[in-house]
A and B are shown apart, each in its own frame.
Chain A
Amino acid sequence: MSEIQNTTNHADLAEVFNNDEARVDWHDETLWWIRSKRDVAVNKISNWEVLRETASQIKHNVLSNLNNYLQQFEGNAIANGIIVHWAADATEHNQIVLSILRKHSIGQMVKSKSMLTEECHLNDFLEVNGINVIDSDLGERIVQLAKEMPSHIVLPCIHKKKEEIGELFHQHLGTPAGNADPQFLTETARQHLRDTFLTRRAALTGVNFAIAETGEFVVCTNEGNADMGAHLADVHIASMGIEKIIPERKHLGVFLRLLTRSATGQPITTYSSHFKRPNKGKEMHIIIVDNGRSIQLGREDFRNSLKCIRCGACMNTCPVYRRSGGHSYHNAISGPIGSILAPNLDMEKYADLPFASTLCGSCTNVCPVKIDIHQQLYKWRQVIVKNGYVPAAKTASMKIMDWTLSSPTAYHTAGKAGRLVLKYAPFMVNNKLNPWYKHRDMPEPPKESFGEWYKKNRK
């Protein structure tokens, strides 16, 4: 699978996306429709805000006691007959998967949706090592055929039009050219993947929730692909980040009520499967992955990002995401939540992401676990600047601005001299060719400022 080259940043990628305005409108409307469905669903739950607060507090407790919960989960899972592995980073995670497959001489694996394996670039790694991987979630399968990354954590191919998907299926699965009917294409994928499910001896799934109290884990899908893969294979591997822990089974009641209503506006996913013990004669593995999460846990301002349950609501509501597309974030997890997670992994590479926001705050309001996403975007900006990951020209212009705005004399001089040049105006900072003018006119300069008017007309 090819990865998006980080030769550019969010603004540049977003500009390319915006070259096709009709497509931007389509993308925006599609995601807004999901946001609207979410609104309808959550408004049916009278104590929705209480649920969000409760979920947030449960997750806060999890983060504060994670060390113990992880060990409790591990102990119970082992007692249940599950084999537990620990991976400090993506490389180790991928090696563990490979070693399990090699031990069983398995060369082909079916995989259901797991954003963690996207984060670890597992597919690329396994392909290089001669393992064939087929993604079974329809959207994931489509982006896999297109050799792209998912552009959304819940809706992997939301950026693709049905005609493009029809063409992919024509090329790869032999469907008639020009057939772009979603019903037909889904049926084709069903037949194609049914064969895959029946012939793969290993299945990898993600984990939505891992329960410390019982050592079981829950996987949620609408398609049934995780279950089809896991129950038909000899070996089930489940990959989870350390933050997927919840304390007790009854807490699932809170999270399962929130998750899908936030994600798609459905009351619950079609399947919420609880895996506690391997079937007899079969193996069940859990890989517990850190990959930077314990570092994020130590960042006081950013640790709440680990509460995320991957519903994607912040993407659907984000006016920037809707008009820039998931790929413009050049990271496995896109959108607002991706923008606060990614700088923890590589501050330089993802220095642009916290700036890809107007700080409108809608993300924070839809978040089912009340992560203060837009506040964290603001805080990441401060951290990124302090660490020197901004262009020198921007720093210089900010210093001039500071000097102008800290001194009433300088401010008034600049104002008088430059109401036409507007040297100090926020939108002129970092100005090369003044991008404002491309689609917008400047305000008409008034004869006098308010300060000047006030001097003449009062006192």
Chain B
Amino acid sequence: MTSREKILSAVKTNQPELATLPDVDFLLQEDIDVPEKFIASLTTIGGQVIMVEDHDAIKAFIAENFKHPSRKITTVSELVDVAEYIEDNSANPHSLENVDYAIIQADLAIAENGAIWVSEDKIRTRVLPFITQHLAVIVRREDIVPTMHQAYNKIGSNDYGFATFIAGPSKTADIEQSLVLGAHGARSMTVFLIN
């Protein structure tokens, strides 16, 4: 008998009588002021939110603020003239080790916790939002949902090879519970909130 068969048979023998799976859709009815809450949540966890009208405003912000000699990468076609544009997933992840700024577009964002959701097609190279020193994410106001339940409702059965929620800069408090931003991932997270 293989381990697989052994485990499955032991589980089958020992598991309790079938219990029903509870409904979770009732959790979709949560009513909160979505954009305000998102800004508050993200700010609390160390991110910053910049309100912008359009991509030109983002470009202006980047020119003004991300100007140190730096390597900037974007996966957003509108920003092609202010950063290196990656259009597919062909880049060797190791080639991104010296990226200072990555600017990506979120699929959606969540008010209750300040997280943004990106799937592989939005980041192109999986390691990009982690290996970059600083992360900037474009969020459209209408893409903000109240809670995780609405987020998964929107994600539905979308197919992706990889996807992630990102909530603020990488952080650790492993040393005496002192919060330090910039553990192994991005040191900062800026969200451009487009009206």
Q: A residues touching B (Cβ–Cβ < 8 Å)?
A: 30, 33-34, 47, 50-51, 54, 57-58, 60-61, 63-67, 70-71, 86-88, 92, 136-139, 142, 155-158, 161-162, 165, 182-183, 185-187, 189-190, 193-194, 197-198, 214, 222-225, 227-228, 231-232, 242, 247, 249-254, 256-257, 264, 266-280, 288, 290, 294-295, 297-298, 300, 303
Q: Are B24 and A254 in contact (CB under 8 A)?
A: yes
Interface residues of B in 147-185 (CB under 8 A from A): 147-149, 151-153, 155, 157, 159-178, 180, 182-185
Given A257-B147, A268-B113, A294:B11 Cβ within 8 A: yes
Residue of B nearest to A227 (CB): B130
What is the CA–CA distance of A242 and B178 in the complex, to the nearest angstrom?
34
Q: Give chain B residues whose Cβ lies under 8 Å from the Cβ of A136.
A: 184
Instruction: Tell me how far the C-beta of B90 lies from the nearest C-beta in chain A, rounded to whole angstroms.
Output: 9
Interface of A, helix, strand, loop or mixed by DSSP = helix
Assembled-state Cα–Cα distance A303/B157 (Å): 31
6 A–B contacts, CB within 8 A, in A order = A65-B18, A70-B7, A70-B11, A222-B173, A252-B148, A275-B162
User: A436 CB to closest chain B CB, in angstroms?
Assistant: 35
A223 interface neighbour in B21, B27, B93, B185, Cβ under 8 Å: B185
Chain B residues positioned under 8 Å from A232 (CB to CB): 93-94, 127, 131
CB–CB A254/B177 < 8 A = no
Are A224 and B113 in touch, CB under 8 angstroms? no
**Which residues does B use to contact A, with CB under 8 Å?**
2-4, 6-8, 10-22, 24, 27, 41, 44-45, 89, 93-94, 97, 110, 112-115, 125-127, 130-131, 147-149, 151-153, 155, 157, 159-178, 180, 182-186
Residues of the A chain whose Cβ atoms lie less than 8 Å from the Cβ of B41: 267
Which residues of chain A are near B19, meaning CB under 8 Å?
A: 57, 60-61, 63-65
Q: Determine the chain A residues whose CB is within 8 A of the CB of B169 once the complex forms.
A: 270
The answer to whether B94 touches A279, judged by C-beta atoms less than 8 angstroms apart, is: no
User: Looking at chain B's contact residues, is the secondary structure mostly helix, strand, loop, or mixed?
Assistant: loop
* A223 and B171 contacting across the interface, CB-CB below 8 Å: yes
CB pair A156 B174 closer than 8 Å: yes
In the bound complex, residues from chain B placing their C-beta under 8 Å from that of A194 are 97, 184
A300 to B24: give the CA distance in the assembly, Å.
Answer: 26
Docked complex Cα distance between A259 and B93 (Å): 30
Contact (A272, B115) CB under 8 Å given A185-B175, A231-B127, A290-B10: yes
B89: chain A residues within 8 A (beta carbon)? 279-280
For the complex with contacts A138-B172, A227-B127, 6 further pairs of A-B residues with Cβ separation under 8 Å are: A161-B176, A266-B167, A270-B171, A271-B164, A271-B170, A273-B164
Chain A residue numbers with a CB within 8 Å of B93 are 231-232
